[in-house]
Amino acid sequence: MSEITILVIEDDPAVRRGIVDVLEYAGYRTLEAADGHAGMDLALKANFRLLLLDLVMPGPSGFDILEALKKKRPGQAVIILSARGEENDRVRGLVNGADDYVVKPFSMKELLARVDAVLRRTCERTAPADSREVPGGKVDFKERVLIFSDGRREELSDRENDLLRYLLDSNGRIISREEILRNLWGLDPDRTETRTIDMHIMHLRAKLGDKDQSLLATVRGKGYRWMS
């Protein structure tokens, strides 16, 4: 369960804190946003397995976020959390791609049960592949090794293996050092030396044979992007 990240978009600070505390106590990693603007940004850019989404908040509404998210990630699991329990709202949320709809007020025990149920139902569609093709070969994530068509093999450390998977799954978007530390390794970017990311990137490039950064590019001042 430690590998599962849940994004919580909820404008009520007490409700959001309660949800985050319960999820983290249950062993999940969490990301959180307090309004529609920050929520939209995280929903479209961050890596997470499940979104818990409030409907009414400052900025873009939960429905706006759900619509944008489903256009970019059709298979993303979403649970709507809302005091709006009217049938039309529930139907609209489910029709637009939400996996479940929990009406406030709810017990944290019920919420955890809904979270577990949605994750079980969606695990097949979100399960990461054991291997992926890379230029000149493939990466076997289960064995943590790069295998090239010329017979060359490069062993990967656990961190290199996780980082390469994260970059490949990013679909070409820019990944910041802070995002890698927070979402991938569960570290606080403000308390961690970010050069550790640079070193892992350098090692990955060497093992990929990416001397000219044609595969794994540095975007100055922003982070890294998988180009292939």
pLDDT tens for each residue of 49-88: 899 999 989 999 999 999 998 887 777 889 999 876 666 7
Q: What is the pTM of this model?
A: 0.56
Decide: 161 and 154 in contact? Cβ < 8 Å: no
Quick: pLDDT tens for 140-192: 988 999 999 999 999 999 889 989 988 887 778 888 888 787 767 766 667 66
What is the three-class DSSP state of 6? strand
Rounded to whole angstroms, the Cα distance separating 159 from 86 reads 46
**Cα dihedral 157/162/168/173 (nearest 10):** -120
Task: Report phi then psi at 220, rounded to 5.
Answer: -55, 125
Q: How far apart are alpha carbons 74 and 94 in whole angstroms? A: 13
Tens digits of residue pLDDT in 53-63: 999 899 999 99
Which positions ≥6 away from 126 have C-beta within 8 Å? 49, 75, 77
Only one residue has tokens 């399960």, namely 127
For the chain, give the mean pLDDT.
86
Reference 4, options 168, 133, 120, 138; nearest CA is 120
